[in-house]
Amino acid sequence: MCEVGEDYRAPAGQPPPRPGREQKCVKCKEGLPVVVIRAGDAFCRDCFKAFYVHKFRAVLGKNRLIFPGEKVLLAWSGGPSSSSMLWQVLEGLSRDSAKRLRFVPGVVYADEGAACGQSPEDRAKTVAEAKAGLAERRLPVVFSLPPSVLRCSAREPVGTEGAYKAAVDSFLQQQHALGEEQQSLPCPPRPPIRAGPPTAGQTEALSTLFSSVETLTAKEELLRTLRTHLILHVARTHGYSKVMMGDSCTRLAIKLMTSLALGRGPSSWSAGFSDERHGDVVVVRPMREHTLKEVAFYNRLFAVPSVFTPAVDTKAPEKASIHRLMEAFILRLQAQFPSTVSTVYRTSEKLVKAPRDGCAAGTPGPRCLLCMCVLDVDTADSATAFGAQTSSQLPQTQPPVAQAEAPTVSCCCTGMGAALSAFCSCREEDPRARVIEQLCYGCRVNMKDLPSLDPLPPYILAEAQLRSQRAEAEQIQEYLLEDREDEDARPGES
């Protein structure tokens, strides 16, 4: 492969020599090898297990983010990687030695059947299977269902606000942030550990939302966003300060390339070890050094149970969405150039999102409503802003309200308006514009596939309303005179 810095090796036509029958395990040199990882590294069963477990522990230990006694939520999707992660955690906890893992785990499983169009009976079956799989684990299990996200309309905006404050105030002291966060939130009544089945109305609301999305790409992105929100919400209400996601190396490489193609940039947030976008709850990825191949081998050799849950893109053709395309492409390329996945993965570690020109490192800008990334809105003279303008300057695609605006700065309704759009007259008339201008580039492109923002969960719309009111209040703040009798007190201001 034309990889940068690649050593001169044998011509690409010849595959690496396959291990013969007489070959021993490369590590202990004694046992018979049962599995071949990478090119030609044959391991025996015990060495493989040791290698696998060691990698898991090393990732956790090197980063030192998980403190002893901390409550950690394990996000389990039923798939092989997260099942493997769950298994590792359980094994790690049960060791009777000083090397025991010392945090307090809980498991969350999000049932996404409604989004995928599964009938309630199928979903109940899947949930029962999942429960059975975990029955003997004796872990507190939270089965949360996406419609409950629609239910917590009053709570979620406060949660997001609390997180933002926590992010600004107590960046480094994560444990203290947990304490503050729990005190500052108005204590909601805790939902029962096993939430009841969702009402038909909520299920229908969710299906309406997902069927109104036009492309599979936007559907997957929306589902991902909602799932993240849900897991965070569960973590916050139950007092978990860390969430562990089971993304493997292969999955992360695909995610990286996908987010590049979706306009989210190198997205070191979603692929690094720790994701601190959400302030009080930190998302960590302990499986990030394991390739999918290793996970599969381990699960098979050591009988790790996993549950198959159909997803939005199950049985979808390869070209249906960007995610599928990228997955197929990378896996195909990996077959030809075995170092593809690790190269992409290592490259992402070297790159970061560039700060806006001259922006001080300490002051975080406004954050995207959906994905919590810093807003990377293009100013009017940036290259892609111009490219987007020429493509969106179009009477047909813009709503008629926006047509009156100056064509040089494209209106916030469909384009990438800058702060100037805050004073745009169409904003008050168009609630969609109000939401769109609080999103980052990647989320905006997704929203284009959503013809109407009404089916979005009420907590998102409420938070958008809150933020724009707050922004308005800040803008007029400097003009307000400090006169007690005439103090402008608009109702509903924070």
Q: Which residues bind other proteins (CB under 8 A)?
A: 1-8, 10-12, 215, 217, 256-257, 259-266, 319-322, 325-326, 329, 333, 340, 343-344, 346-347, 349-355, 376, 378, 381-384, 386-388, 390-397, 441-442, 445, 448
In sequence order, what are the beta bridge partners of 194?
A: 143
Among candidates 224, 147, 99, which has minimal Cα distance to 459?
147
| Structure token digits, residue 155 | 């709570």
Nearer to other proteins, 153 or 343 (CB): 343
| Structure token digits, residue 83 | 């099942």
Distance set, CA 289 to CA 39, 44, 52, 107, 341 (Å) = 17, 20, 10, 22, 11
The nearest distance, CB 247 to other proteins, in angstroms, is 18
Alpha-carbon distance of 301 to 45, in angstroms, equals 8
Nearer to other proteins, 4 or 360 (CB): 4
Nearer to other proteins, 9 or 21 (CB): 9
| Structure token digits, residue 401 | 């309200």
Nearer to other proteins, 225 or 389 (CB): 389
By CB atoms closer than 10 A (0-12, 13-18, 19+), residue 57 is middle
The nearest distance, CB 203 to other proteins, in angstroms, is 29
The nearest distance, CB 370 to other proteins, in angstroms, is 16
Provide the angle, in degrees to the nearest 10, between the axes of the packed helices 200-212 and 216-238. Answer: 140
Alpha-carbon distance of 66 to 284, in angstroms, equals 9
The nearest distance, CB 143 to other proteins, in angstroms, is 34
The nearest distance, CB 275 to other proteins, in angstroms, is 16
Alpha-carbon distance of 306 to 466, in angstroms, equals 41
Backbone φ and ψ for 292, nearest 5 degrees, come out as: -60, -30
For tokens 């002893």, the residue is 68
Nearer to other proteins, 146 or 266 (CB): 266
DSSP state at residue 377: P
Q: Which residues contact 462 (CB under 8 A, 6 or more apart)?
A: 153, 154, 156, 157
The nearest distance, CB 387 to other proteins, in angstroms, is 4
Distance set, CA 184 to CA 164, 178, 180, 278 (Å) = 12, 10, 6, 16
Asked if 214 and 106 touch (Cβ cutoff 8 Å), the reply is no
Nearer to other proteins, 53 or 325 (CB): 325
What is the CB neighbour count within 10 angstroms for residue 220?
A: 23
Q: What's CA 157's distance to the chain center, in Å? A: 19
The nearest distance, CB 244 to other proteins, in angstroms, is 24
The nearest distance, CB 338 to other proteins, in angstroms, is 13
The nearest distance, CB 404 to other proteins, in angstroms, is 18
Alpha-carbon distance of 243 to 282, in angstroms, equals 6
Nearer to other proteins, 103 or 441 (CB): 441
Provide the angle, in degrees to the nearest 10, between the axes of the packed helices 292-301 and 80-94. Answer: 60
Beta strands in 26-158 (DSSP E): 35-37, 41-43, 71-75, 104-110, 141-144
The nearest distance, CB 10 to other proteins, in angstroms, is 7
Nearer to other proteins, 212 or 268 (CB): 268
Nearer to other proteins, 107 or 447 (CB): 447
The nearest distance, CB 109 to other proteins, in angstroms, is 30
Asked if 309 and 320 touch (Cβ cutoff 8 Å), the reply is no
Nearer to other proteins, 151 or 367 (CB): 367
Nearer to other proteins, 175 or 391 (CB): 391
